[in-house]
Amino acid sequence: MAKRKKKANKKQPVLELRKVSKHYHLGNQLIKALDKVNFALCSGDFVAIKGPSGSGKSTFLQVASILAEPTSGQIMLKGQDVTSYDEVERAHLRNQEIGFIFQKFNLLARTSAIENVALPLVYAGVSKNEREQRAKALLEKIGLGERLENKPSQLSGGQQQRVAIARALINNPSIIFADEPTGNLDSQSGSEIKKILTDLNKEGKTIMMVTHEENVAKIAKRHLFLKDGQIVSDTNNHGQKSQPTTKTSTKTKNKTRTKKSNKS
């Protein structure tokens, strides 16, 4: 008897948006910030979200990161439907699964670097000793071991963003969302942040990043282009259409094998 071929392993997307829309009313006008968007993100992806002003980039990031509720559609995180979670449930989920990096850093002004980084662990109920150890280790990893007690006003823009990156990493999130992470930085600091993000992705971190800077977008493996609330293209660095899940590529391979067997 012929041996049955083993089925190829299908990689479960860490995040899926299924026909997701986000609509607003502005007076009598309906604004479709997102309109029936389908998207899948796999572990280890590095996605740059691009598009003109008003295309829906920021809304896409907010909805995908569960900061904003969709008007319709379904959001799946690690195979779990989280669409109908209430605010308390979403806040807990963000604390455990999601890290944020913002253009304006969003650090607490009167709080030291190590305390800023450790803050998500406070909400997670981690002991003070462990919080400090983990925050210190991350700050040392990104070159700020000598700045543990410095407050944001005592740090440069690039240093503040590194603190923000350490804070985003502190809970070992499934996805890191970055909104214009180099937008408030000079070119040298921006280059340092790009290298950190690239290195994190090489280590296996999954990153979604909004940017309008093409030189920043180039560090991503995958490029989404949004227009009028819809994804109009999804390509890799070589301009080829992306295949976000192995399910698609498996089907393609099976079709190719079928054609070959028919010829022979």
Q: In which band, very low, low, confident or very high, does the pLDDT at 244 lie, cut at 50, 70 and 90? A: low
| Residue at token pair 């997102």 | 34
Q: How confident is the model at residue 148 (pLDDT cuts 50, 70, 90)?
A: very high
Residue 263 belongs to a domain = no
Tell me the per-residue pLDDT of 89-143, one tens digit each, with 9 for 90 and over: 999 999 999 999 999 999 999 999 999 999 999 989 999 999 999 999 999 999 9
What is the separation of C-alpha 81 from the centre of its chain, rounded to a whole number of angstroms?
A: 18
Which residues lie below 8 Å from residue 54, measured CB to CB, with a gap of 6+? none
Q: What is the pLDDT of residue 260?
A: 43
Statement: residue 224 has pLDDT above 50? yes
Residue 84 is predicted with a pLDDT of: 92
Domain membership of residue 4 (yes or no) is: no
Determine, yes or no, domain membership for 179.
Answer: yes
Asked if residue 9 is part of any domain, the answer here is no
CATH of the domain at 78: 3.40.50.300
Residue-range definition of the domain harbouring residue 157? 15-255
Q: Are 25 and 51 in contact (CB under 8 A)?
A: no
pLDDT at residue 248 greater than cutoff 80: no
Alpha helices in the chain (DSSP H): 57-64, 87-97, 113-123, 128-141, 157-169, 187-202, 214-217, 246-263
Mean pLDDT of the chain: 88
Is residue 70 classed exposed, middle or buried when 0-12, 13-18 and 19+ CB atoms within 10 A define those classes?
buried
Assess whether pLDDT exceeds 70 at residue 74: yes
Q: Is residue 6 part of a domain?
A: no
Amino acid (1-letter code) at residue 21: S
Number of domains in the chain: 1
pLDDT of residue 80: 94
Tokens 């498996």, residue? 250
pLDDT of residue 158 exceeding 50, the answer is yes
Residue 39 has pLDDT above 90, yes or no: yes
Is 103 among the domain residues?
yes
Kindly state whether residue 44 falls inside one of the protein's structural domains.
Answer: yes
**Is 8 a domain residue?**
no
